[in-house]
Amino acid sequence: MGVVILLLFWIILIVVGFPIGISLILSCVSYLLIAGYGINSIVVQMFASLNSFPILAVPLFIFAANLMNRTGLTNTLFYFAKSLIGHVPGGLGHVNILASIFFSGMSGSLLLTLSTKKATTASTINKPTSSYTISSLNIRTAINC
């Protein structure tokens, strides 16, 4: 019964116009208060869960990806890979995989590689015959290699 109340309260907050993150927080806190937890333990647990290096790393990786895109480092690496193997038939896929190898060697992070490569490849593929879905799948496949 508690889960139903939680979901209904969350949906009502979204319909009223609250942002999704705020509505999730308010519905969870209200459920915990109804379940009998104290407000002090809820606040302490919320802030203790933020003390995590992976949670801190996500925005910093996104910041690094934006920095690489704005300075032109991603375009330089992409065009370098294109000059190496762009002449091969199906060259864009090979270039994408080689650029992923360069990025993974530089950063060691899947999130950073995905953030930078998505923007670079999407801006490079501007032919009307190219499909954005195919390029996205190619990026995902190259990152998994």
DSSP letter string, the chain = -HHHHHHHHHHHHHHHT--HHHHHHHHHHHHHHHHT--HHHHHHHHHHHT--HHHHHHHHHHHHHHHHHHHTHHHHHHHHHHHHHTTSTTHHHHHHHHHHHHHHHHH--HHHHHHHHHHHHHHH---TT--HHHHHHHHHHHHH-
Yes or no: say if 115 and 65 are a contact pair by the CB < 8 Å rule: yes
Residue whose pair of structure tokens reads 């806190």 in the numeric block: 29
For residues 120 and 114, give the distance between their C-alpha atoms in angstroms, rounded to a whole number.
Answer: 10
Residue type, 19: P
**Residue 42's pLDDT is what?**
82
> 15 φ, ψ to 5°?
-65, -35
Tell me the pLDDT tens digit for each residue of 117-138.
Answer: 665 565 555 555 455 555 555 5
Structural domain including 113 reads 54-144
The number of domains in the chain is 2
For residues 135 and 96, give the distance between their C-alpha atoms in angstroms, rounded to a whole number.
Answer: 9
Whether the pLDDT of residue 5 is over 60: the answer is: yes
Tell me the pLDDT tens digit for each residue of 29-81.
Answer: 888 888 888 888 888 887 887 777 777 777 887 787 778 878 888 788 888 88
**70 and 33, same domain (yes or no):** no
Residue that terminates a domain, selected from 51, 68, 92 = 51
**Residue 94's pLDDT is what?**
80
**73 and 98, same domain (yes or no):** yes
**122 and 102, same domain (yes or no):** yes
Residue that terminates a domain, selected from 51, 74, 91 = 51
The residue-averaged pLDDT of 96-121 equals 70
Instruction: Tell the burial category of 99 from Cβ atoms under 10 Å away from its Cβ (0-12, 13-18, 19+).
Output: buried
pTM assigned to the model: 0.51
